[in-house]
Amino acid sequence: MADFIVIPAIDLRSGRCVRLRRGIASEETVYDTDPLKVALRWEQAGAACIHVVDLDGAFAGSPRQTAMVIKIAAAVKIPVEAGGGLRTKDHIRKLVESGVARAIIGTAACESREFTVGLIGEFGPALAMAVDAHDGLVQTAGWTSTSAVRAIDLAERLDRDGARTLIYTDTGRDGMLSGPNIPAIEKLCGRVRCSVIASGGVSAQEDIDRLRALSLPNLGGVIVGKALYEGKVDLCKNKPVNKS
């Protein structure tokens, strides 16, 4: 079985490293003005991967922080996955060809199955699908719009269409330090075969331990943001642990 990893999040907004509460633009906390320095710090602390989100791009509908994303990918020796406003094949190709290990799409994956299938065929493992859910329904456009699509239905469709990785976020818990949505994560992992990365709500080491203890074969890890920045989780204590 694959390693279960803890993935630090770097959310970019106006060139700064920030965290939002439930993805709401007005509820922002700035943690650093040098995202590159933060990425290097997480790498030194033992991260196996870094999750980068272009929040400006997510809200605008097209990338805005591409230069910084590429700088981060070039500066660290570990894989970087990145998303936020990626709506076209050119957006994705630019990141992948510039050294980003995995580009993340969310809104596009929900809105056009034909487009998504084509992307999966072209980019394969260099593409991840974001399934962002509030009360079980998919949110798009930087979490500003809630669709009528059930998150579990979208996840199953993406899995059938060949997606290699799903990033599942409970948006109502993101940045809230309220604990991850364990039942939803268990249900989703039980309905798909591809790798699942959980996100949203991690508040302490105990939350990570609970997720790891589930021993779900396709739960590949968890993304942690606010809890890391506020010292509630120590990356040094979360080196990859093989589940086999």
Domain for residue 243, yes or no?
no
Domain for residue 169, yes or no?
yes
**Type of residue found at 6:** V
Confidence band, pLDDT 50/70/90 cuts, at residue 244? very low
Domain for residue 84, yes or no?
yes
Confidence band, pLDDT 50/70/90 cuts, at residue 241? low
pLDDT of residue 176: 82
Look at the chain and report how many structural domains it folds into: 1
Residues 140, 110: Cα–Cα separation, whole Å: 8
* CB-neighbour burial class of residue 88 (10 A; exposed 0-12, middle 13-18, buried 19+): middle
Domain for residue 194, yes or no?
yes
Domain for residue 242, yes or no?
no
pLDDT of residue 239: 75
pLDDT of residue 2: 55
Q: For 127-150, what is each residue's pLDDT tens digit? A: 999 999 999 999 998 888 899 999
- Please enumerate in sequence order all residues whose Cβ is within 8 A of that of 204, keeping only pairs 6 or more positions apart, or say none: 227, 232, 233
Tokens of 169: 């976020």
Residues assigned a catalytic role: 11, 132
Strands 102-105 and 80-83, sheet pairing: parallel
* CB-neighbour burial class of residue 61 (10 A; exposed 0-12, middle 13-18, buried 19+): middle
Residues 168, 41: Cα–Cα separation, whole Å: 25
Tell me how far apart the terminal alpha carbons of the chain are, to the nearest angstrom: 5
Residues 122, 218: Cα–Cα separation, whole Å: 23
> Global pTM?
0.94
Is the pLDDT reported for residue 1 higher than 60? no
Domain for residue 35, yes or no?
yes
Q: What is the CATH number of the domain that holds 13?
A: 3.20.20.70
Domain for residue 244, yes or no?
no
* CB-neighbour burial class of residue 237 (10 A; exposed 0-12, middle 13-18, buried 19+): exposed
Q: For 42-92, what is each residue's pLDDT tens digit? A: 999 999 999 999 999 999 999 999 999 999 999 999 999 999 999 999 999
Average pLDDT, the chain: 93
Domain for residue 101, yes or no?
yes
Residue-range definition of the domain harbouring residue 64 = 3-237
The fraction of the chain above a pLDDT of 90, given in percent, is 84
Q: Which residues pair with 242 in a beta bridge?
A: 3
Helices (runs of H) and strands (runs of E) counted in the chain:
10, 13
75 in Cβ contact with 40 (< 8 Å): yes
